[in-house]
């Protein structure tokens, strides 16, 4: 077996590979950019080599620097992780020429299947059913419009070298192609160093189902069943699960056999994923093959017990697969939630900054035989950089059934606490609690269908209102008793949003008893003291965790996707509070604000210019994505406060209207 492996990647996947290498007794080297000098991966690896500036084009995408690092450290093999150079055939060939083993498929398989244009041609020759589209390079926007109109709208514009949801736009009209084609090309160039684009028919209400394959250098290929990745936002997967609630045994077998046949046709000899677009009627079409490890591989590992990173390493070393197809079985159900640095309350815009608090749920076996796993490459105090993907971690849970795995995920999300930047935990919790998600009736339009006006949290259920009010009462009584204000008051008015009710409350040895209109609500086994952001307790027979923080008045309390501002007042204070005038929000209607920290790519208006609603005002780049800002009103530009190339903060005023 290899004695030393270099990991040509960063973040959570670098940490993930290090963990398997440690278990196998293999020493590790990580390369790192300037931005990642103090990262968790650098801390964990046996050796670390600096390879350049923060932008990937100056570091992780430079093959020469990675080869130099291999020579310098004496590593025998390179694991590319995902993204960056993981699907670059010329990089794999370069390593081979240098006598270095590439832990991934052979270069011919990468070329045949890793390039989305070539893979479409190959699949068509092999008789695999594919989505209608233009297979070939597209020269410019005019050519793109012609192709889109021949196929018929809607179409999907995709980067040939794309992955991770980058370099994809759905175009519903000619105007969408005019704007989307250059944007996709720019994203493709920035993310992959390859600006080739292809266009295919966009199938409405589809499901995204993929098959994990694994091959060795002796002609053996197996599949490890499917993953459903239909919960997507901007073509970026958000929630994945294995197996899929859509498939029956017949479809699973057919899809698996097709994936294996395709892999065998290109002598595939590592871990890879054959992606399909599936109809609600279980029809399916080949979409593409990712010739690398997938981000969502943990759910497959949880239902099969196979360490995919270990099998990639063993295959690259020349070992035979230790199992045949008949040896593989699906055991239970697994869910994965991607924790992103983004603000779900502001259209999921990237949110960069420092992880002031980072407290994930405990990993390992939990209640009812469930399992919690958290794949992360960060620690408390780390910075989430604007230069890379905004994923903080991947939280996975396993249970004997789908509903048990979903319930375990809901509880794990409750226990996950992050401060310092926007994060999507409340949104993920909302999905887990939705009836439609629990029913398994999914599609890639799910987020758009269920949250058409964007995500603003969910209204409280009766259980949540009772819980949040009981927590607020406990905190108020505890503070009053610690302040030594004589006999504790029992009569209180709880104001939660627009909701008011009178209660009687009494502290107990381990919590509080709240009497509310003839009902006794018992909050017990409380684990909290003032200043802590998470409040753990048992309420109505359930273990719960809520997030709490003091507000200018009262408390802000969140349980899953529900947040309430709560005041606990004496009856007299409640009377006076009703007489206070409401606060007015600042008027920003004449301003275009930066929705996130980022880099100004272009300012498309000038002082004195007349602008119509919907016209492009500016383009911002953050987390490798380009974001188009449009005018929300007709008017004349009074001032332009920034220029192309400037770095801006969230809510910075870019342009002002007269």
At 511-558, the pLDDT tens digits run: 999 998 789 999 999 999 999 999 999 999 999 999 999 998 899 999
d(CA 428, CA 393): 13
Which residues pair with residue 494 across a beta bridge? 501, 568
Residue 623's pLDDT is 66
Residue 565's pLDDT is 95
486 — pLDDT class (breaks 50, 70, 90) = low
- Return the CATH fold of 462-578: Glycoprotein, Type 4 Pilin (3.30.700)
d(CA 430, CA 632): 29
Output 268 or 137, whichever has higher pLDDT.
Answer: 268
- Range of weakest confidence among 150-154, 374-378, 473-477, 560-564: 150-154
Domain segments of the chain: what residues? 4-103, 132-201, 339-433, 462-578, 591-657
At 294-347, the pLDDT tens digits run: 999 999 999 999 999 999 999 999 999 999 999 999 999 999 999 999 989 988
| Strand, helix or coil for residue 185 | helix
Output 482 or 92, whichever has higher pLDDT.
Answer: 92
The CATH code of the domain at 4-103 is 3.40.50.20
Residue 484's pLDDT is 65
Could you tell me what percent of the chain has a pLDDT over 70? 98
Phi and psi based region of residue 486 (left: phi greater than 0; alpha: psi -120 to 50; beta: remaining): left
Which residues pair with residue 564 across a beta bridge? 557
Q: How far, in Å, are 230, 236, 357 from residue 155 at the CA level?
A: 18, 17, 42
Mean pLDDT of 209-233: 97
Residue 204's pLDDT is 77
Mean pLDDT of 156-171: 84
- Examine the pLDDT at 191 and tell me if it is beyond 90: no
- Examine the pLDDT at 101 and tell me if it is beyond 90: yes
Would you tell me the crossing angle of helices 297-304 and 308-317 to the nearest 10 degrees? 90
351 — pLDDT class (breaks 50, 70, 90) = confident
350 — pLDDT class (breaks 50, 70, 90) = confident
End-to-end Cα, the chain, rounded Å: 69
At 68-95, the pLDDT tens digits run: 999 999 999 999 999 999 999 999 999 9
Mean pLDDT of 411-423: 95
Residue 130 per-residue DSSP state:
B
Residue 352's pLDDT is 81
State the chain's mean pLDDT as an integer: 92
- Examine the pLDDT at 126 and tell me if it is beyond 80: no
- Examine the pLDDT at 642 and tell me if it is beyond 70: yes
- Return the CATH fold of 132-201: Dna Ligase; domain 1 (3.30.1490)
Neighbours of 222 (CB within 10 A): 22
At 223-271, the pLDDT tens digits run: 999 999 999 987 889 999 999 999 999 999 999 999 999 999 899 999 9
- Examine the pLDDT at 45 and tell me if it is beyond 70: yes
Mean pLDDT of 606-628: 86
d(CA 480, CA 519): 24
Model confidence, pTM: 0.84
- Range of weakest confidence among 114-123, 280-289, 291-300, 387-396: 114-123
d(CA 381, CA 375): 17
Q: Can you point out the beta strands (E) in 90-142?
A: 101-102, 133-134
- Range of weakest confidence among 20-34, 121-135, 543-557: 121-135
At 565-585, the pLDDT tens digits run: 999 999 998 888 887 777 776
Residue 11's pLDDT is 96
- Examine the pLDDT at 127 and tell me if it is beyond 90: no
Residue 390's pLDDT is 87
- Examine the pLDDT at 55 and tell me if it is beyond 80: yes
Does domain 591-657 bear CATH number 3.20.20.140?
Answer: no
Q: What is the dihedral of CA 573, 574, 579, 582, to 10 degrees?
A: 110
Is the bond into 154 cis (omega within 30 degrees of 0)? yes
- Examine the pLDDT at 106 and tell me if it is beyond 90: yes
Output 136 or 627, whichever has higher pLDDT.
Answer: 627
Would you tell me the crossing angle of helices 425-433 and 402-414 to the nearest 10 degrees? 150
The radius of gyration computed from the CA coordinates of the chain, to the nearest angstrom, equals: 27
DSSP string, 169-212: EEESSHHHHHHHHHHHHHHHHHHHS---EEEEEPPSS-EEEEEE
Closest CA to 351 of 654, 594, 546: 594
Which residues pair with residue 546 across a beta bridge? 535
Kind and range of the H or E element at 264?
helix 249-265
- Examine the pLDDT at 405 and tell me if it is beyond 80: yes
d(CA 87, CA 107): 9
Write out the catalytic residue numbers: 288
- Return the CATH fold of 339-433: D-amino Acid Aminotransferase; Chain A, domain 1 (3.30.470)
d(CA 112, CA 18): 29
Structure tokens at 307: 């360490």
């Amino acid at each position: 077996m290899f004695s030393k492996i270099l990991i040509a990647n960063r973040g959570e996947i670098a940490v993930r590979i290090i963990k398997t290498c440690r278990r196998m007794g293999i020493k590790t080297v990580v390369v790192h950019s300037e931005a990642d000098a103090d990262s968790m991966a650098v801390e964990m690896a046996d050796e670390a080599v600096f390879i350049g500036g923060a932008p990937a084009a100056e570091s992780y995408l430079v093959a020469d620097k990675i080869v130099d690092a291999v020579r310098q450290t004496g590593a025998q093999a390179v694991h590319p992780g995902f993204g960056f150079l993981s699907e670059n055939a010329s990089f794999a060939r370069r390593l081979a020429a240098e006598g270095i083993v590439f832990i991934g498929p052979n270069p011919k398989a990468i070329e045949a299947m890793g390039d989305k244009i070539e893979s479409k041609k190959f699949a068509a020759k092999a008789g695999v059913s594919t989505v209608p589209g233009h297979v070939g390079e597209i020269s410019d926007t005019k050519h793109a419009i012609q192709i889109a109109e021949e196929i018929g709208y809607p179409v999907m514009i995709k980067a040939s070298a794309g992955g991770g949801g980058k370099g994809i736009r759905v175009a519903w009209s000619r105007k969408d192609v005019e704007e989307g084609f250059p944007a996709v090309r720019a994203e493709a160039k920035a993310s992959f160093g390859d600006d080739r684009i292809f266009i295919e028919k966009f199938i409405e209400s589809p499901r995204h189902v993929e098959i994990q394959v694994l091959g060795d250098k002796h002609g053996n290929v197996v599949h490890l069943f499917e993953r459903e990745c239909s919960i997507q936002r901007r073509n970026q997967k958000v929630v994945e699960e294995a197996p899929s609630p859509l498939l029956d045994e017949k479809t699973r077998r057919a899809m698996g056999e097709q994936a294996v046949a395709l892999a065998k046709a290109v002598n595939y000899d590592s871990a890879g994923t054959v992606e399909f677009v599936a109809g609600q009627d279980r029809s399916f079409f080949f979409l593409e093959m990712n010739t690398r490890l997938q981000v969502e591989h943990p759910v497959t590992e949880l239902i099969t017990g196979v360490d995919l990173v270990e099998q990639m390493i063993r295959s690259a070393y020349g070992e035979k697969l230790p199992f045949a197809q008949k040896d593989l079985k699906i055991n239970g159900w697994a869910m994965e939630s991607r924790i992103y640095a983004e603000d779900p309350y502001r259209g999921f815009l990237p949110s960069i900054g420092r992880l002031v608090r980072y407290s994930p749920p405990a990993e390992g076996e939990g209640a009812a035989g469930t399992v919690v796993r958290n794949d992360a490459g960060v620690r408390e105090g780390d910075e989430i950089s604007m230069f890379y993907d905004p994923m903080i971690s991947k939280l996975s849970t396993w249970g004997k059934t789908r509903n048990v795995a979903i319930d375990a995920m809901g509880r794990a999300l409750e226990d996950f606490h992050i401060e310092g930047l926007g994060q999507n935990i409340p949104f993920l919790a909302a999905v887990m609690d939705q009836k439609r998600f629990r029913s398994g009736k999914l599609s890639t339009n799910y987020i758009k269908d269920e949250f058409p006006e964007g995500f603003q949290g969910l209204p409280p259920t009766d259980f949540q209102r009772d819980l949040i009010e009981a927590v607020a009462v406990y905190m108020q009584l505890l503070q009053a008793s610690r302040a030594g204000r004589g006999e504790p008051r029992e009569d209180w008015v709880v104001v939660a949003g627009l909701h008011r009710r009178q209660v009687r409350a009494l502290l107990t040895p381990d919590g509080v008893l709240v009497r509310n209109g003839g009902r006794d609500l018992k909050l017990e086994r409380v684990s909290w003291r003032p200043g802590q952001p998470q409040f753990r307790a048992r309420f109505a027979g359930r273990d719960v965790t809520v997030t709490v923080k003091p507000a200018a008045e009262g408390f802000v309390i969140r349980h899953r996707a529900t947040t309430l501002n709560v005041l606990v007042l004496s009856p007299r204070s409640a009377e006076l509070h009703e007489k206070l005038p409401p606060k007015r929000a600042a008027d920003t209607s004449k301003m275009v604000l930066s929705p996130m920290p980022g880099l100004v790519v272009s300012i498309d208006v000038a002082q004195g210019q007349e602008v119509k609603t919907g016209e492009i005002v500016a383009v911002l780049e953050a987390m490798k994505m380009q974001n188009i800002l449009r005018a929300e009103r007709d008017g004349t530009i009074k001032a332009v406060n920034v220029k192309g190339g400037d770095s801006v903060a969230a809510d910075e005023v870019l342009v002002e209207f007269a």
